[in-house]
Amino acid sequence: MTIFLTGVAGFIGSHVAEALLARGDQVVGIDNMNDYYSVDLKRARLGRLGGRSGFTFIQADVADREAVGAALKRAEASGPVTGIVHLAAQAGVRYSLENPYAYADANVVGQVIMLEAARKLDCLEHFVYASSSSVYGANTKLPFSIDDPVDHPVSLYAATKRAGELIAYSFSHIHKLPATGLRFFTVYGPWGRPDMAAYLFCDAIMAGRPIRVFNQGRMERDFTYIDDIVAGVVAALGRPPAPDARGVRSMLYNLGNHRSESLVRFIEVIEQALGRTALKNLEPMQAGDVPATYADIDATRRDLGFEPAIPIEVGIPRFVAWYKDYHGIA
């Protein structure tokens, strides 16, 4: 099979590409290589894929109609594209306060462009796309279920990801396009993003700088290890949704660890893995943030056979080992 994968130089995208290549798929990956965070890190991720048989990289932006069309045309030249994994997005809750247009372009316009291109493919079997636990917004009932209302986003990032879900549903309804959205819960692991907590904390602790601990440390997150996320994405790709009562083939699933860890415990495990104690600046809750996330994965288990296996006590030491190796720290 030929799988078209967007955001291939990203954290999750590069890992998913590796898994698809390992099982024998052809992967055509695109990424715009923007500088929201280190382009060198993105290039290093691509470097791990570049020598693999069956992998093709095309630099293209999902918000550019012509570039997406040209990339898909090139992909189809080597065989029919049977699956799309659309992971490209402008990530980060806090950055959405500074640069809202980047989120509208990548997460809304990009979603429309990708779906419009997808519906024109003759052999496409499934369109899988990234959503986020952020869509649960101001909800207080835990764990978060896909049946919960998601009408009160507390950040623009969350609003754009919810918009992406609604746009996908409309394409499924109108064009009979099988589409599955995956709500990711705080993903971490080797090759992770520098703007995420694990990386930020390691950077600060190793440099002797205080770490910023929001909401005075009264935060909980459903931290999900990258290998578990990849298993969920690949499982979803192979299981296009059946028609619902209206004949619409559209589904949403949570991909989380199904356990909520306190931020304080998360920091403790990082300290233990680094062998250093963190200096902590206790700060108020940040705008757009939420105090707790926790995934209900009953539907994901039932339909996708999803079973997360890596707790933070295992995943964080793996991340720290990668972090030290990547930065040349003995």
**Per-residue confidence of the chain (330 residues) as pLDDT tens digits?**
899 999 999 999 999 999 999 999 999 999 999 999 999 999 999 999 988 899 999 999 999 999 999 999 999 987 899 999 999 999 988 888 889 999 999 999 999 999 999 999 999 999 999 999 999 998 889 999 999 999 999 999 999 999 999 999 999 999 999 999 999 999 999 999 999 999 999 999 999 999 999 888 888 999 999 999 999 999 999 999 999 999 999 999 999 999 899 999 999 999 999 999 999 988 888 776 788 899 999 999 999 999 999 999 999 999 999 999 999 998
Query: Beta strand pairing status for 220-221 and 261-262?
Result: antiparallel
Tell me the C-alpha distance between 256 and 130, whole Å.
13
* Domain that includes residue 128, residue range: 2-192+223-257+294-309
Q: Is 282 helix (H, G, I), strand (E, B) or coil?
A: strand
What integer pLDDT is reported at residue 160 of this predicted model? 97
Both tokens of residue 212? 């910023």
Instruction: Please give the radius of gyration of the chain, using alpha carbons only, rounded to the nearest integer.
Output: 19
Residues in the chain, total:
330
Asked whether residue 145 is assigned to any structural domain, the reply reads yes
- DSSP code of 37? S
Residue indicated by tokens 């949403």: 252
Q: Say if 6 falls within a structural domain.
A: yes
- Residue 240 has φ and ψ, to the nearest 5°, of -60, 145
Residue 288, domain member (yes or no): no
Would you state the pLDDT for residue 84? Answer: 98
Q: Looking at the 3D structure of the chain, how many domains does it have?
A: 1
Residues known to be catalytic: 157
Residue 326 in any domain: the answer is no
The answer to whether residue 32 is domain-embedded is yes
**Quick one: pLDDT at residue 272?**
97
**Alpha-helical runs (H) found in 92-155:** 100-103, 110-119
Q: Is residue 70 within 8 Å of 76, Cβ to Cβ?
A: no
| Predicted local confidence at residue 8, as pLDDT | 98
User: Is 108 among the domain residues?
Assistant: yes
Q: What is the CATH number of the domain that holds 38?
A: 3.40.50.720
Is position 150 within any domain?
yes
Distance CA 212, CA 281 (A): 5
Evaluate whether residue 266 is within a structural domain: no
